[in-house]
Amino acid sequence: MKNRTGLTCTALLAACALAGCGYLPGTGDGTRTVTVWLMKGSASDGFVKRFTSEFESGHKNIKLDVRIQEWGGIGAKVTSALRSGDGPDLIEVGNTQVAMYAQSGGLRDLTLESVRDLGSKDWLPGLADPGSIDGAQYGIPWYAANRVVIYNKDLFRAAGITEPPKTRAQWIKDTGQLNQAGRQGIYLAGQDWYTLSGFIWDEGGELADEDAGNYTGALDSQAAIRGMDFYKQLQDLGRGPKNADEAHPQQAGVFARGDVAQIIAVPGTAQTILKSNPQLKGKLGFFPIPGRTAAKPSAVFTGGSDLIIPDKAHDGDAAVEVVEALAGRKWQTELARTMSYVPNKTTLAGVVNGDEGTAAMAVGAARGRATPNSPRWAAVEADNPIKPYMTEVLTGQDAATAAKKASRRLTDELVDR
């Protein structure tokens, strides 16, 4: 997941060499060992132990060797493993990273398994779409997370607002009403481009258009400009910096002061807020980012992870069995409830109904999207032209002119070199 908001190579590689990161041979009795790389923080130690124990009990001829990886430097490490054939049999990757790895030609095509055994028709689009390259499914959705609105229930009540808004128009009205009540209606930083992306998609626009694998920046379309216009309306009602993103300063700390009514963030941010200000315990609520109509919430950026199998995996067939278990109903339910994630299928959204924040996230996830499925998108984010574009519009520059300039920069970054 990015930011991995949303992600030491030398030390990791050295440790890997000592431990033997490649295939671990069987014991001579027909047992196969599947080496799995999972990312730090994606699953608790307890989940990994429970899954390993139960999977091995049901698959007497397969042993799991699960190795936790750091996000820092993982791109180079995975790419090297795919090329060498000496890496693991199964790898967790960020959903928007699949295209980059697929470009190397080192991934196993899992299209047959995804259709036959994994019920792909119900997958969340924000996980499934970036895992699909040129019609082939290389990434199998594992879990998702996306932004919701976290709000202060006491401030809403004090302003006479009895329920969360379900439309953009009502959201704008309620936020203005919160301001009139003497509180800050919303904190929204000027360069929160993930949130902007959702507004652009909700209007029918795109960050970039694709044609036969070639991408062209599309921030200057009328739909994309409408999305930016709504972002500006909302940001104008708050007091966030126009030239910084949500991490500068950390918006959780701003909200924790107790006088800000709303922020847009993943539900897990609530734990950071409560750590800073325990007096807010019991006062935090969550609702999906409102859409243009009450019929459906806004589109949102989906972060999360997919599972990939190297084409040169020593035991790819056994790795497929592990993927089928991790992506199946039982362990999707277990992971979602353990980690407060959205499970990989829309039909499983109900398993998190007991958690207000995750339930709100699951509603939005049904309309989740990922960034353009270009292997060069990581280069875009390294020097993201969307951020200065947002600042230019928020500080009064002409939106159409700024959008054209940003679109040209996006196109230049996305050219396949």
Model pLDDT for residues 117-136, shown as the tens digit of each residue: 787 889 999 999 999 998 99
pLDDT at position 333 over 70: yes
Residue 1 lies in a domain: no
Residue 2 lies in a domain: no
Taken in order 243, 245, 248, 251, is the CA torsion positive or negative? positive
Same-domain check for residues 103 and 223: no
What would the mean pLDDT of 384-397 be, rounded to a whole number?
Answer: 98
What would the mean pLDDT of 44-62 be, rounded to a whole number?
Answer: 97
Same-domain check for residues 292 and 214: yes
The count of domains in the chain is 2
pLDDT in tens, 357-367: 999 999 999 99
Same-domain check for residues 133 and 281: no
Cis peptide before 372 (omega within 30 of 0): no
Which CATH number goes with the domain that contains 281?
Answer: 3.40.190.10
H/E stretch holding 289 reads none
Sorting pLDDT into bands at 50, 70 and 90, what band is 213?
confident
Taken in order 324, 330, 334, 340, is the CA torsion positive or negative? positive
Write down the residue that tokens 């709504």 correspond to: 230
The rounded percent of the chain whose pLDDT value lies above 90 is 85
The rounded percent of the chain whose pLDDT value lies above 70 is 92
Same-domain check for residues 177 and 195: yes
pLDDT at position 23 over 90: no
Same-domain check for residues 228 and 246: yes
Q: How far apart are the first and last CA of the chain?
A: 25
Same-domain check for residues 268 and 408: yes
Same-domain check for residues 25 and 126: yes
Kindly report which listed range (1-15, 223-237, 328-342, 386-400) carries the lowest average pLDDT score.
1-15
Helix (H, G, I), strand (E, B) or coil at 137: strand
- Compute the mean pLDDT over every residue in the chain, rounded to the nearest whole number: 91
Structural domain span for residue 231: 148-300+372-414
Q: Where are the alpha helices (DSSP H) in 25-123?
A: 45-58, 74-84, 98-102, 111-116
Residue 290 lies in a domain: yes
Helix (H, G, I), strand (E, B) or coil at 327: coil
Same-domain check for residues 332 and 184: no
Q: How far apart are CA 327 and CA 358, in angstroms?
A: 19
Domain end, chosen from 330, 349, 365, is at 365
Same-domain check for residues 138 and 213: no
Same-domain check for residues 104 and 55: yes
Same-domain check for residues 69 and 209: no
Helix (H, G, I), strand (E, B) or coil at 118: coil
pLDDT value of position 21: 40
Token couple for 108: 């196993």
Q: How far apart are CA 268 and CA 249, in angstroms?
A: 18
Residue 4 lies in a domain: no
What would the mean pLDDT of 317-323 be, rounded to a whole number?
Answer: 96
Q: How many CB atoms lie within 10 A of CB 409?
A: 19
Q: How far apart are CA 291 and CA 288, in angstroms?
A: 9
Rounded to 5°, the CA angle 3-4-9 comes to 110
pLDDT value of position 29: 64
What would the mean pLDDT of 183-202 be, rounded to a whole number?
Answer: 97
What would the mean pLDDT of 70-96 be, rounded to a whole number?
Answer: 94
Bridge partners for 369 per DSSP: 301
Residue 3 lies in a domain: no
pLDDT at position 151 over 80: yes
pLDDT value of position 115: 63
pLDDT at position 400 over 50: yes
pLDDT at position 25 over 50: no
Same-domain check for residues 284 and 159: yes
- What is the crossing angle of helices 329-339 and 45-58, to 10°? 170
Residue 190 lies in a domain: yes
pLDDT at position 27 over 90: no
Token couple for 386: 């969307």
Which of 231, 212, 226 lies closest to 134, judged by CA? 212
Sorting pLDDT into bands at 50, 70 and 90, what band is 113?
confident
Sorting pLDDT into bands at 50, 70 and 90, what band is 54?
very high
Q: How far apart are CA 394 and CA 245, in angstroms?
A: 13
pLDDT in tens, 161-179: 999 999 999 999 999 999 9
Residue 102 lies in a domain: yes
123 phi and psi angles, rounded to 5 deg = -65, 150
Q: How far apart are CA 287 and CA 232, in angstroms?
A: 21
Rounded to two decimals, what is the model's pTM? 0.89
